[in-house]
Amino acid sequence: MKVNISIYIISLIMCTNISYAASLRVSPAMINCQNIQYGITYDIYKETGVRFTIYNDDLENKTWQLAIYPPSERGQSTKDYMDILSDTWCRLDKTTVTVKPNSFEHVYLYIQFPEELPNTTQYHKWM
C-alpha cells in the first residue's frame, strides 16, 4: 500500500514579541510526499534533495522550537493527499534550532509509517 501525504513544519515561537516572529522564514513550509510505503523509513533529503531551511533575517541569534503538524490543523488541506495521522510517523533531525544573524540552518525530515495501521475508519478512509 502506498499513500500520498502533506506535512507542514511550523515554528513554535516561545516569545510574546511579534517582531521576533518577523525574522523567521521557513522554506519550504509544506512538503507533499507521494507513494510512501508502510514500514519503510524515508530520509526525504536523500530521496528528493528537499530539506527545510530556517532563515533568520534579524541582527541577533534566534532560537526556535520546531514541530510537525498535519495541514488540517492549520485549516488547509491538499486534494488527494492525506494528513499524517500520528506525529510519531514523521520526525525532524532537530526540534530546536538556533540560527545566527542573517543566516540559515537546515533541518532534515524522516518519515516512517507503521507496517500495519489500526483497523479504524480514520486510517482506512484513504485506502
Residue with cell 507542514: 8
Q: Are 66 and 9 in contact (CB under 8 A)?
A: yes
Domain formed by 2-124, architecture: Sandwich (2.60)
What does the pLDDT profile of the chain (127 residues) look like in tens digits?
A: 455 554 544 433 333 333 455 567 777 766 777 777 778 888 989 988 888 888 898 899 988 888 777 666 666 666 666 666 677 788 889 988 899 999 999 999 898 877 776 554 444 333 3
Sequence ranges of the domains in the chain: 2-124
Round to whole Å and give the CA distance between 33 and 61: 32
First to last CA, the chain: 8
Output the nine-digit C-alpha cell for 5. Answer: 501525504
Round to whole Å and give the CA distance between 91 and 105: 17
Output the nine-digit C-alpha cell for 19. Answer: 517582531
Output the nine-digit C-alpha cell for 13. Answer: 515561537
Residue 16: helix, strand or coil by DSSP?
Answer: coil
Round to whole Å and give the CA distance between 96 and 55: 14
| Model pLDDT, residue 65 | 85
pTM of the model: 0.69
CA-based radius of gyration for the chain: 16
